[in-house]
């Protein structure tokens, strides 16, 4: 006889809720709706269905609502909007799609320049994070096992405080009367404050600081699992340390590089708080444009089109990242 506490989590939940689920699964309409066998309903599939249901309720449904609003008329700024699917007097089902909002995005230089500017800032921010994070992750992976936990805690330590407070702290550091300018003036290195606030430099500093752990952690996870005997074999064959790094360590760490680059690039692409607090008027990113359209201009159809276009761009980038990750995982 199998003990209840020795079963996996999914099976334990299935045993606890088994009678009720089997009763519901025995109902023909329910079974047809689920389109799964009774074993799937009462097994691990029940546990898997919880996150899928969560995503469907809090991601898919809001996405469909925003998608519907993006096809509404620009002249109708707020709800109620006309239905997308209507029955005509002749009894035909018609689909009414107003693509004027998307055409407006393509015609107006403000929006596509904001997209390009966002891609530029996100790309260079992720590249700077990669340059800084790779030596950090490499040192952590090669450190003594007793120190790895401490170093890992130091990387995630900034997450223990509010993201907004950390961004506000950079205002106190970078402004004309901040810590950096006051220190440089006291040391006599400058004769007047440096204008660091409301510049692209401040935006890059804020994004790199905020998202650097997202680059360090995937790289550390990849480098920590690397087989060090490969480096020993390369050394025995006469390979120099830097050559061994380029031919062994760097290719094997490509999955971590791709994952970390995506984890930094994608959220930085739609960043709003950092450009708004640290950037100037010329730092135009799509997150700020989206905020203005929704809450300042109250143009919900146009703002929804901006959001859908940005999400489409993110999906394209994620698809490319997935393809690149599969290519790097394939044996040569």
110 shares a domain with 29: no
The answer as to whether 244 is a domain residue is yes
What total number of domains does the chain contain?
A: 2
Alpha-carbon span 238 to 249, nearest angstrom: 16
Confirm whether 89 is domain-assigned: no
In total, the chain counts a number of residues equal to: 332
Give the global pTM.
0.79
DSSP class per residue in 213-241: HHHHHHHHHHHHTS-THHHHHHHHTT--H
* Single residue among 18, 37, 56 that ends a domain in this structure: 56
Taking alpha carbons only, the member of 263, 268, 264, 258 closest to residue 222 is: 258
- In the block, which residue shows the tokens 């998202």? 211
Same domain, 177 and 324: yes
Between 1-5, 158-162, 265-269, 299-303, the lowest mean confidence (pLDDT) is in 1-5
Average pLDDT of the chain to the nearest whole number: 83
Does 104 score more than 60 pLDDT? yes
| pLDDT above 90: residue 29 | no
Question: Looking at the structure, do residues 152 and 238 belong to the same domain, yes or no?
Answer: yes
Residue 84 lies in a domain: no
CATH assignment of the domain containing 185: 1.10.3720.10
Q: Are residues 115 and 205 in the same domain?
A: yes
One domain, residues 34 and 158: no
**One domain for residues 121 and 231:** yes
> Given 22, 38, 56, which residue is the final one in a domain?
56
**Does any domain span residue 129?**
yes
Give per-residue pLDDT as tens, 46-75: 777 888 888 889 989 999 989 988 988 876
Residue 281 is part of which domain span? Answer: 103-329
Three-state DSSP state, 37: coil
Residues 44, 143 within the same domain = no
Q: In sequence order, what are the residues at sequence separation of 6 or more whose Cβ sits closer than 8 angstroms to the Cβ of residue 66?
A: 304, 307, 308
Cα(195)–Cα(198) distance, rounded to whole angstroms?
8
Pick 331 or 120 by higher pLDDT.
Answer: 120
- Has residue 210 been placed in a domain? yes
Q: Is the pLDDT of residue 148 over 60?
A: yes
Q: Assess whether 39 and 114 both reside in one domain.
A: no
**Domain assignment present for 94:** no
32 shares a domain with 109: no
Quick check: is 43 in a domain?
yes
- On whether residue 165 sits in a domain, the answer given is yes
20 and 111 share a domain? Answer: no
The label of the residue with tokens 């090669």 reads 142
Quick: pLDDT tens for 273-286.
Answer: 999 999 877 788 99
């Amino acid at each position: 006889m199998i003990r209840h506490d020795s079963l996996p989590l999914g099976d334990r939940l299935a045993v606890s809720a088994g009678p009720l689920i089997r009763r519901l699964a025995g109902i023909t309409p329910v079974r047809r709706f689920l389109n799964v066998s009774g074993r799937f309903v009462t097994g691990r599939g029940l546990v898997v269905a919880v996150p899928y249901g969560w995503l469907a309720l809090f991601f898919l449904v809001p996405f469909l609502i925003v998608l519907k609003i993006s096809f509404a008329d620009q002249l109708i700024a707020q709800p109620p909007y006309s239905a997308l699917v209507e029955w005509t007097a002749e009894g035909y089902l018609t689909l009414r799609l107003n693509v004027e909002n998307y055409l407006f995005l393509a015609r107006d230089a403000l929006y596509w320049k904001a997209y390009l500017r966002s891609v530029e800032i996100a790309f260079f921010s992720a590249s700077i994070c990669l340059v800084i994070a790779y030596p950090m992750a490499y040192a952590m992976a090669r450190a003594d096992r007793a120190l790895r936990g401490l170093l890992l805690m130091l990387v995630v330590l900034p997450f223990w405080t509010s993201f907004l407070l950390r961004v506000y702290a950079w205002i106190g550091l970078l402004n004309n009367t901040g810590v950096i300018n006051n220190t440089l003036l006291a040391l006599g290195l400058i004769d007047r404050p440096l204008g660091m606030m409301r510049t692209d430099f401040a935006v890059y500093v804020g994004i790199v600081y905020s998202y650097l752990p997202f680059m360090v952690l995937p790289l550390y996870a990849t480098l920590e699992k690397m087989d060090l005997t490969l480096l020993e074999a390369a050394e025995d064959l006469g390979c120099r340390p830097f050559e061994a790094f380029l031919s062994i360590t760097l290719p094997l760490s490509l999955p971590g590089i791709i994952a970390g680059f995506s984890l930094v690039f994608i959220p930085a692409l739609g960043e709003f708080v950092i450009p708004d607090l640290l950037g100037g008027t010329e730092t135009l990113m799509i997150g700020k444009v989206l905020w203005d359209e929704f809450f300042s201009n109250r143009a919900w159809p146009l703002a929804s089109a901006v959001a859908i276009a940005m999400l489409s761009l993110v999906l394209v980038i994620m698809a490319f990242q997935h393809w690149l990750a599969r290519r790097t995982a394939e044996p040569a």
